[in-house]
Chains A and B, each alone.
Chain A
Amino acid sequence: MRDEGANPPAVCLGFDIHYPCYLNPGFRPDMVKGKRNPKDSYFNPDMKEDLGQIIDRSFRPATEILLDLLDDGFKCAFSISGVVVEHLERWYPEMLELISRAATHRNAEILAETYYHSVAGQFADLAEFTDELLMHRDLMKEQFATVPTTFVHTDYPITPATADVLAGAGIEAAIIEGGAPPAPEGDPNHTYTYHGLPVLVTHCDLTDDIAVRFPSREWDRWPLMADRYAEWLAVSPGDCITLFLDYRIFGDVIGPETGIFDFLRALPAALAGEGIMTLHPSEAVRTIPPQADIEETGGPQRTILQQSALEALEEAGDLVTDRAVWRCLLETDHIRRMAMRSPSCGRSLHAVSHQATYDYFTSFMQILSHAEERSASRTRSPKAALSLRCIPPDKAFSFSSYDRPAGYAAHSLQELASMLDFTPDDVIRYHVERDDIYRWIDQVVGDGKLAKKVQGISDRNELRSTIQKRIDELWKRLR
């Protein structure tokens, strides 16, 4: 609660307009036989129809409401991914026209993001991240005649390296997600700096009052009215509250029958009634002096599956020749679905079982592995590409000891080498005695030469260095 008489905080409201490439969950390698473009089998074949429904339920009504509000002086920001612009341009140009009217409105700000809404910022090599950032900037310039200066960094944690890339690409500020590191604990309603880059931190609780709790009748605050919500904002401590919401929350995730559109329509008047100003993110960082510098706290929290998938994805950048397929697989939504819980913070609630994450991971790896196999013949050394490809979970190397599984599996030669770093001695002994490593490399990976070399080696370090040497050699042949 804030002191009596103090000014209420300002509000930065942003919307994320995006439609991801969903995987085709029933994908099997034999579905691709005889088809020229495997992309249709990898990803949701009904993309056009689905997007059409989302437009009807959500994008169109929400944008029409926002256009009216913008005319009345309400300010908000839009982050529009490159993928969604492509889809709209191809299938629903009149919708793109409508979004364009809202985005180029004098009271709206266009935000920067990665073109494919991708996880490339988590890679060790940020070349793809930089590329996508520039691609998106060019697209915004071409479509909306604006060069965005505020980057939305909410689907994965900001790192010192991405902050440097952003600063180097002319980005002046970033919006990051609250609630999880490195966001400051407890007090998101200020501007901060992160490695020299000004940042705004989203307020997850207040965002999720809309994105998650709004329709739930079990909630003790149901039904949430705009004036009540504005009161909560008005009594929040701090200078500026950042709310960043998935656009599909309005109408699609939360249906119109719940009154979500009425809420949106009534919000600006309610905010004005409490004396709350709406600001553009870029205005907020310009006018509000930063409270503190955010310190680095530990690495990101990932699941084992997310880690395997991210490593495989980064390597696939050089193995999948069809860039479009690879970039669709970079979508943050895929990685998000490989955790049991993900912070919602403006997105729909994600809480699933371990089995569900594993199933998703399996489909994902099958598609990635298949794409790599198909691409191999088009690389400089097809054999090397095949040896380096990732292996889907059903054929992965599952570590185990005499009496129990070790709880992890290697999905590529590289992962095998990294896991040998910490695998317990009894596990290595077990696999060496059964000749498992030899057989897996020979029969599953298909690298007979390396298989013969590792046969009979029982020393952990020797095994590792032999495999690593081979991997380096294979990469050399490929590049």
Chain B
Amino acid sequence: METLKIAFFCWESLHSPFKVGGLAPAATHLAEHLARRGHEVHFFTRGEPGDAEVNGVHYHYCRPYGDNIIEYCKTMSNMLVDAFRACDTPAFDILHFHDWHLVEALHTLRDRNTVLSYHSTEYGRHGGNFGGWWEFKEISGKEWYGGYIAKTVTTVSNSTKTEVMWLYNVPEWKVTVIPNGIDPDAYYARVDPGEVKKRYGIHPLAPVVLFVGRLTYQKGPDLLMQAIPRILATRWDVQFLFAGTGDMRGYLEGMAHGLPVQFLGYIADREHVQLLNACDLIAIPSRNEPFGLVLTEAWSAERCVVATDVGGLSENIDNYINGIKVPVRPDSIAWGICHLIDDPVYMQSLGKAGRRKVMEKFRWAVITERMLSVYRKVLSDSP
């Protein structure tokens, strides 16, 4: 197969000082896996102005400015289009845009072979609610326009696909579902769970439920917090760890008074992997989840999950085979956790089944191949 020259447009990457959420690893790893297959990948993003090459990917950085997020993204688009033009000979085959931030660049370059990936929607980021403020409308408008002009669109799950079809009238033929990939071995580590638990002042044999994610309304940490007293009523040695930070932290800390809960704040990758492999169960109480990277991370570490029956979680979890899906309600989350936590052997078997699913469906090798077939389709459709 001939090699492609691919441009990535994404406002964050793992190799720049700006990291917000799961977008950076998703886009960076995809770029690196494409480069590893011999394609020429240029990554246009924010950072110290200049160029760099990391893991075979060419990075082109800019430093945008603006009084608000919309302005900021507009200047970023203009700067990155300039950077793009500077290396457009020979011409790029594919222009791959991630999320709404660079829709202005997409507009300028709309005649080329463009792909737009929705990692989430503005509606979803607010837990499945519409906002009345101007940024919400502006961003939703950009998401609609991006889907309208892009040659093809990908989403990370079927539920996001339905969401963009419903919200932005994107026709179905234009949308391909391509989940986020993962490198399973990066999240699997042989640790002594007891030793890790001890570091947090937890009895080495106490069952530990882990929450990983931003402490925001979308991720539902408050639902898990409300479930805790119900869990403790039947099993009183369970401990809860919340890793991550966000605007709900103060509120949650108030709720956690007197409960066996610890807030770890932002945790480094190494600690994250150790916690994943040391905990007994991972709770994912999201109200809306386009994909749910936490899920594939948990599975990579052979952990079982109790997750809400929404979005990507709902699609990817096979109930009672590699996890348990529950309605978005504290009492249901409590039920799910109680159902599993007493039975370590059952939990292990669910976790191992999850790992098998990751190896089969979510490894980067599989995902990259699927993305390439989308690129080839765009190329074959172009006149």
Q: Among A340, A404, A424, which residue has its beta carbon within 8 angstroms of that of B343?
A: A340
In the bound complex, do residue B345 and residue A354 qualify as a contact, i.e. CB atoms below 8 Å apart? Answer: no
Residues of chain B within 8 A of A179, CB atoms compared: 345
Q: Can you name the residue of chain B whose Cβ is closest to the Cβ of A353? A: B234
Chain B interface secondary structure, helix, strand, loop or mixed? loop
Taken together as a complex, chains A and B put the C-alpha atoms of A194 and B199 apart, in Å, by: 33
Would you list the 5 A-B pairs with minimal beta carbon distance, nearest first? Answer: A424-B201, A340-B342, A422-B198, A341-B343, A408-B203
Chain B CB within 8 A of A180 CB: yes
Taken together as a complex, chains A and B put the C-alpha atoms of A419 and B203 apart, in Å, by: 8
Q: Among B192, B201, B205, which residue has its beta carbon within 8 angstroms of that of A304?
A: B205
In the bound complex, do residue B203 and residue A304 qualify as a contact, i.e. CB atoms below 8 Å apart? Answer: yes
In the bound complex, do residue B204 and residue A404 qualify as a contact, i.e. CB atoms below 8 Å apart? Answer: no
In the bound complex, do residue B345 and residue A301 qualify as a contact, i.e. CB atoms below 8 Å apart? Answer: yes
Chain A CB within 8 A of B237 CB: yes
14 A-B pairs besides A298-B193, A341-B343 with CB distance below 8 A are A303-B237, A304-B206, A340-B342, A341-B344, A403-B257, A403-B258, A407-B236, A407-B237, A407-B239, A408-B206, A422-B199, A422-B201, A422-B203, A423-B201
Residues of chain A within 8 A of B352, CB atoms compared: 185
15 pairs of residues in contact across A and B, judged by CB atoms under 8 Å: A298-B193, A299-B192, A301-B344, A304-B206, A340-B235, A340-B342, A354-B234, A354-B342, A404-B259, A406-B203, A407-B203, A407-B206, A407-B237, A422-B197, A424-B200
Taken together as a complex, chains A and B put the C-alpha atoms of A231 and B346 apart, in Å, by: 27
Residues of chain A within 8 A of B343, CB atoms compared: 340-341
Known A341-B343, A354-B342; judge A304-B198 contact (CB<8 A): no
- Contact mask B213-236 → A, CB, 8 Å, 1/0? 000000000000000000000111
Q: Can you name the residue of chain A whose Cβ is closest to the Cβ of B235? A: A354
Chain A CB within 8 A of B260 CB: yes
Chain A CB within 8 A of B202 CB: yes
Chain B CB within 8 A of A421 CB: yes
**Within the complex, what minimum Cβ distance (angstroms) separates A253 from chain B?**
20
Taken together as a complex, chains A and B put the C-alpha atoms of A177 and B128 apart, in Å, by: 48
In the bound complex, do residue A404 and residue B258 qualify as a contact, i.e. CB atoms below 8 Å apart? Answer: yes
Taken together as a complex, chains A and B put the C-alpha atoms of A256 and B85 apart, in Å, by: 84
Taken together as a complex, chains A and B put the C-alpha atoms of A343 and B258 apart, in Å, by: 34
Taken together as a complex, chains A and B put the C-alpha atoms of A354 and B234 apart, in Å, by: 7
Taken together as a complex, chains A and B put the C-alpha atoms of A304 and B236 apart, in Å, by: 11
In the bound complex, do residue B237 and residue A408 qualify as a contact, i.e. CB atoms below 8 Å apart? Answer: yes
In the bound complex, do residue A422 and residue B345 qualify as a contact, i.e. CB atoms below 8 Å apart? Answer: no
Residues of chain B within 8 A of A353, CB atoms compared: 234
In the bound complex, do residue B205 and residue A307 qualify as a contact, i.e. CB atoms below 8 Å apart? Answer: yes
Residues of chain B within 8 A of A405, CB atoms compared: 260
Chain B CB within 8 A of A167 CB: no
In the bound complex, do residue A341 and residue B234 qualify as a contact, i.e. CB atoms below 8 Å apart? Answer: no
Known A304-B237, A354-B235; judge A406-B345 contact (CB<8 A): no
Residues of chain B within 8 A of A180, CB atoms compared: 345
In the bound complex, do residue B201 and residue A341 qualify as a contact, i.e. CB atoms below 8 Å apart? Answer: no
Taken together as a complex, chains A and B put the C-alpha atoms of A406 and B238 apart, in Å, by: 10
**Within the complex, what minimum Cβ distance (angstroms) separates B258 from chain A?**
5
Residues of chain A within 8 A of B203, CB atoms compared: 304, 406-408, 419, 422
Chain B CB within 8 A of A302 CB: yes
In the bound complex, do residue B201 and residue A406 qualify as a contact, i.e. CB atoms below 8 Å apart? Answer: yes
In the bound complex, do residue A303 and residue B201 qualify as a contact, i.e. CB atoms below 8 Å apart? Answer: no
- Contact mask A392-423 → B, CB, 8 Å, 1/0? 00000000000111111000000000010111
**Within the complex, what minimum Cβ distance (angstroms) separates B356 from chain A?**
10
Q: Can you name the residue of chain B whose Cβ is closest to the Cβ of A426? A: B201
Chain B CB within 8 A of A47 CB: no
| Residues of chain B having any CB pair with chain A under 8 Å | 192-194, 197-206, 234-237, 239, 257-260, 342-346, 352
Chain B CB within 8 A of A427 CB: yes
Q: Can you name the residue of chain B whose Cβ is closest to the Cβ of A186? A: B352
Taken together as a complex, chains A and B put the C-alpha atoms of A404 and B206 apart, in Å, by: 16
In the bound complex, do residue B258 and residue A341 qualify as a contact, i.e. CB atoms below 8 Å apart? Answer: no
Residues of chain B within 8 A of A403, CB atoms compared: 257-258
**Within the complex, what minimum Cβ distance (angstroms) separates A324 from chain B?**
30
In the bound complex, do residue B236 and residue A422 qualify as a contact, i.e. CB atoms below 8 Å apart? Answer: no
Known A353-B234, A404-B258, A404-B260; judge A427-B201 contact (CB<8 A): yes
Residues of chain B within 8 A of A423, CB atoms compared: 201
Q: Among B202, B205, B206, B345, which residue has its beta carbon within 8 angstroms of that of A341?
A: B345
Residues of chain A within 8 A of B200, CB atoms compared: 424
Residues of chain A within 8 A of B206, CB atoms compared: 304, 407-408
In the bound complex, do residue B198 and residue A421 qualify as a contact, i.e. CB atoms below 8 Å apart? Answer: yes
Residues of chain B within 8 A of A299, CB atoms compared: 192, 194
Taken together as a complex, chains A and B put the C-alpha atoms of A254 and B92 apart, in Å, by: 73
- Contact mask A300-313 → B, CB, 8 Å, 1/0? 01111001000000
Taken together as a complex, chains A and B put the C-alpha atoms of A422 and B203 apart, in Å, by: 7
Taken together as a complex, chains A and B put the C-alpha atoms of A301 and B192 apart, in Å, by: 12
In the bound complex, do residue A422 and residue B342 qualify as a contact, i.e. CB atoms below 8 Å apart? Answer: no
Q: Can you name the residue of chain A whose Cβ is closest to the Cβ of B257? A: A403
Q: Can you name the residue of chain B whose Cβ is closest to the Cβ of A424? A: B201
Residues of chain A within 8 A of B202, CB atoms compared: 407, 422
**Within the complex, what minimum Cβ distance (angstroms) separates B203 from chain A?**
4
Taken together as a complex, chains A and B put the C-alpha atoms of A179 and B202 apart, in Å, by: 28
**Within the complex, what minimum Cβ distance (angstroms) separates A47 from chain B?**
30
Q: Can you name the residue of chain B whose Cβ is closest to the Cβ of A297? A: B190
Residues of chain A within 8 A of B197, CB atoms compared: 422
In the bound complex, do residue A354 and residue B344 qualify as a contact, i.e. CB atoms below 8 Å apart? Answer: no
- Contact mask A325-360 → B, CB, 8 Å, 1/0? 000000000000000110100000001011100000
Q: Can you name the residue of chain B whose Cβ is closest to the Cβ of A306? A: B205
Taken together as a complex, chains A and B put the C-alpha atoms of A355 and B201 apart, in Å, by: 24
In the bound complex, do residue B236 and residue A354 qualify as a contact, i.e. CB atoms below 8 Å apart? Answer: yes
Residues of chain A within 8 A of B260, CB atoms compared: 404-407
Q: Can you name the residue of chain A whose Cβ is closest to the Cβ of B198? A: A422
Taken together as a complex, chains A and B put the C-alpha atoms of A195 and B372 apart, in Å, by: 48
Taken together as a complex, chains A and B put the C-alpha atoms of A408 and B238 apart, in Å, by: 11
Residues of chain B within 8 A of A304, CB atoms compared: 203, 205-206, 237
Taken together as a complex, chains A and B put the C-alpha atoms of A351 and B193 apart, in Å, by: 24
**Within the complex, what minimum Cβ distance (angstroms) separates A118 from chain B?**
21
Taken together as a complex, chains A and B put the C-alpha atoms of A425 and B201 apart, in Å, by: 8
In the bound complex, do residue B342 and residue A302 qualify as a contact, i.e. CB atoms below 8 Å apart? Answer: no
Taken together as a complex, chains A and B put the C-alpha atoms of A298 and B206 apart, in Å, by: 16
Residues of chain B within 8 A of A424, CB atoms compared: 200-201
**Within the complex, what minimum Cβ distance (angstroms) separates A123 from chain B?**
17
Taken together as a complex, chains A and B put the C-alpha atoms of A353 and B203 apart, in Å, by: 20
Q: Among A298, A343, A421, A427, which residue has its beta carbon within 8 angstroms of that of B345?
A: A343
**Within the complex, what minimum Cβ distance (angstroms) separates B231 from chain A?**
11
List A50-69 residues whose CB lies under 8 Å from chain B: none
Taken together as a complex, chains A and B put the C-alpha atoms of A298 and B302 apart, in Å, by: 14
Taken together as a complex, chains A and B put the C-alpha atoms of A304 and B202 apart, in Å, by: 11
Taken together as a complex, chains A and B put the C-alpha atoms of A301 and B206 apart, in Å, by: 11
**Within the complex, what minimum Cβ distance (angstroms) separates B71 from chain A?**
46
Q: Can you name the residue of chain B whose Cβ is closest to the Cβ of A179? A: B345
Residues of chain B within 8 A of A419, CB atoms compared: 203
Taken together as a complex, chains A and B put the C-alpha atoms of A257 and B235 apart, in Å, by: 37
Q: A351, A406, A427: which has the most chain B beta carbons within 10 Å? A: A406
Q: Can you name the residue of chain B whose Cβ is closest to the Cβ of A404? A: B258
Taken together as a complex, chains A and B put the C-alpha atoms of A403 and B192 apart, in Å, by: 29
In the bound complex, do residue B205 and residue A303 qualify as a contact, i.e. CB atoms below 8 Å apart? Answer: yes
Residues of chain A within 8 A of B201, CB atoms compared: 406, 422-425, 427
